[in-house]
Structure 1
Amino acid sequence: MKKVITGGLVLAAGLFAASAQAQPVRPTIVLVHGAFADSSSWNGVITLLERDGYTVIAAPNPLRGVRADADVVADVVKSVPGPVVLVGHSYGGSVISEAAEGAGNVKALVYVSAFAPDTGETALGLTGKFPGSTLGTALAPPVKLTAGGNDLYILQARFHDQFAADVPAPAARQMAAGQRPVAEAALAEEATMPAWKHLPSWFIYGDGDRNIPPAAMGFMAERAKSRQTVVVKGASHVVMVSHAPAVAGLIERAAAAR
């Protein structure tokens, strides 16, 4: 009897080990914020992803230049031991497109109200490709930098309507006060390595976006052969703040896809 029990335990242990090996490794989600925002813009999405068992990293984005910012994000991605789903908001989409190139552990890209530029394209150029953006008239006078160039901010009085129209006013005021400036040169820097050309991509954006024209984002999603494109009715540029469940859900579908 003892031998039968022992054998059964060995068999059960073997089956458990085989089952564990068959389970795919759950990817780490690396989130990259965009211009005029910071990593706190992902807080609602982070809460939902962590609740569902995902490890999440909100990577720093210096907002200084596409290539330089992509190098910072790429270093974070390289530090992750397993697969990664790389998610970018707004200008952060330009950054993840570059950062994913050559990173063998990136399995998917998710663009959240984001740019997905082709080689030679810029954020400014894509914004102006279709009508609908009112960002230019909402910008504060540029802040001149000692080292040269300009930093751009959105006027605090215009921030709610321009950037976060579907976010409660008190929260939008806090976002306006804490906004991170983007270097003007970053928005005019040409893309060189569009990783969406060989990595599966997902897109989500709002049809009420006043920063990037929704038509531009639809164009980029179609060009990238998006696995799934979600258009959130009435959502502003910060769809991850106002509709965190929809954004988290799309990220999880990208993470689970094969």
Structure 2
Amino acid sequence: MLKVLKALFFAACLIAPPSISNAADKPTIVLVHGAFADASSWNRVITKLEADGYPVIAAANPLRSVKTDADYVRRIVAGIHGNVVLVGHSYGGLVINDAASTAKNVKALVFVAAFAPDKGESAAQLSGQFPGSTLAPTLGEPVELEGDQKDLYIQQSKFPEQFAADVSLAEARTMAATQRPITDRALAEPATNASWKSIPSWFVFGDADKNIPPKALSWMAERAGAKESVVVKGGSHVVMVSQPQVVAKVIEDAAAGK
């Protein structure tokens, strides 16, 4: 029996396990969720990407501060052998923008209904630069934290219409219950880098986004000189949930450099 176990162990060692370095010719896709969401928001996109042969990592974004969150994602990227496509949703756009600044293996940035800030710009500033965001009135009572910080949530009763209007009500309610909070500090923290100035970028967002005004998203895409900017008709803030095929296609275009 012991000989059999040893033989099985040896055979297993000869088989390369699934890993972030087993990317073959394709880059690893690193997905970074934004505020009021979690890594599961990428599930349908992941299914499509993996079916097409892409290695994928959906990072658990801490949502504490731009610097803290970017440092976390930067360490993930540093552990990947080969090229990386960094994808950020909403506030996650600030995170990938910062994380990519010192990551030599990031070949493309994809902004999914996401902020693409220049140096000195914050999420709060960019969302208020154009009219249309209705997020502020839907926030609930903040949770007091140490250091005079607050955790912010969207009221569950208002979450479906505000955040995920094109998702089934049952799913949107589940998303509301499992939403991850973001600190007020993170939303107000200015960016210290603008990686989209040196790394090619792709954008996809909905024209019915109520968190970030579509005009702001379009303006950021144009400013970044996006290789591709796809606008989903009727799309909410969570187009990766409601339109995963569209979002996956943009990510694959970025991976291919189209």
Q: Same fold (TM over 0.5)?
A: yes
Matched, 1:182 2:182: yes
- Kindly provide the CA deviation profile for residues 75-123 of structure 1, in whole angstroms up to 9, marking residues without a partner as x: 0000000100000000000000000011000000000000000000000
Shift of 1:240: 0.2
Q: Superposed, which structure 2 residues align to 1:33-52 within 5 Å?
A: 33-52=33-52
Please tell me the residue identity of whatever aligns with 2:82.
G
- Kindly provide the CA deviation profile for residues 25-64 of structure 1, in whole angstroms up to 9, marking residues without a partner as x: 2100000000000000000000000000000000121000
Counterparts of 1:67 and 1:213, CA distance in 2: 24
Shift of 1:145: 1.1
- Kindly provide the CA deviation profile for residues 108-153 of structure 1, in whole angstroms up to 9, marking residues without a partner as x: 0000000000000000000000000000000001111144310000
Q: Secondary structure at the match of 1:234?
A: coil
Q: Which residue of structure 2 lines up, in the alignment, with residue 241 of structure 1?
A: 241
Counterparts of 1:147 and 1:82, CA distance in 2: 39
Work out whether residues 60 and 72 of structure 1, in 8 Å CA contact, stay in contact via their aligned partners in 2: no
Work out whether residues 119 and 193 of structure 1, in 8 Å CA contact, stay in contact via their aligned partners in 2: yes
Q: Which residue of structure 2 lines up, in the alignment, with residue 151 of structure 1?
A: 151
Work out whether residues 124 and 187 of structure 1, in 8 Å CA contact, stay in contact via their aligned partners in 2: yes
Work out whether residues 34 and 61 of structure 1, in 8 Å CA contact, stay in contact via their aligned partners in 2: yes
Q: Secondary structure at the match of 1:132?
A: coil
Matched, 1:75 2:66: no
Shift of 1:236: 0.2
Shift of 1:227: 0.1
Counterparts of 1:255 and 1:121, CA distance in 2: 27
Q: Secondary structure at the match of 2:88?
A: strand
Q: Which residue of structure 2 lines up, in the alignment, with residue 256 of structure 1?
A: 256
Structure index of larger Rg: 1
Please tell me the residue identity of whatever aligns with 2:55.
T
Q: Which residue of structure 2 lines up, in the alignment, with residue 114 of structure 1?
A: 114
Q: Superposed, which structure 2 residues align to 1:57-68 within 5 Å?
A: 57-68=57-68
Counterparts of 1:179 and 1:53, CA distance in 2: 30
Q: Which residue of structure 1 lines up, in the alignment, with residue 142 of structure 2?
A: 142
Counterparts of 1:160 and 1:247, CA distance in 2: 20
Please tell me the residue identity of whatever aligns with 2:216.
A
- Kindly provide the CA deviation profile for residues 182-213 of structure 1, in whole angstroms up to 9, marking residues without a partner as x: 00110000000110010000000000000000
Equivalenced residue count is 235
- Kindly provide the CA deviation profile for residues 190-244 of structure 1, in whole angstroms up to 9, marking residues without a partner as x: 0001100100000000000000000000010000000000000000000000000
User: Equivalent pairs: percent with the same residue?
Assistant: 62
Work out whether residues 83 and 107 of structure 1, in 8 Å CA contact, stay in contact via their aligned partners in 2: yes
Counterparts of 2:102 and 2:149, CA distance in 1: 30
Q: Secondary structure at the match of 2:140?
A: coil
Please tell me the residue identity of whatever aligns with 1:205.
F
Work out whether residues 25 and 83 of structure 1, in 8 Å CA contact, stay in contact via their aligned partners in 2: no
Counterparts of 1:54 and 1:121, CA distance in 2: 33
TM-score w.r.t. structure 1 length? Answer: 0.90
Root mean square deviation, CA, Å: 0.9
Shift of 1:164: 0.1
Q: Secondary structure at the match of 2:75?
A: helix
Counterparts of 1:243 and 1:193, CA distance in 2: 30
Shift of 1:180: 0.1
Counterparts of 2:178 and 2:219, CA distance in 1: 31
Shift of 1:257: 1.1
Moved over 2 A (4+): none
TM-score w.r.t. structure 2 length? Answer: 0.90
Structure 1: gaps of 5 or more residues: 1-23
Q: Which residue of structure 2 lines up, in the alignment, with residue 170 of structure 1?
A: 170
Counterparts of 2:202 and 2:182, CA distance in 1: 25
Q: Secondary structure at the match of 2:157?
A: helix
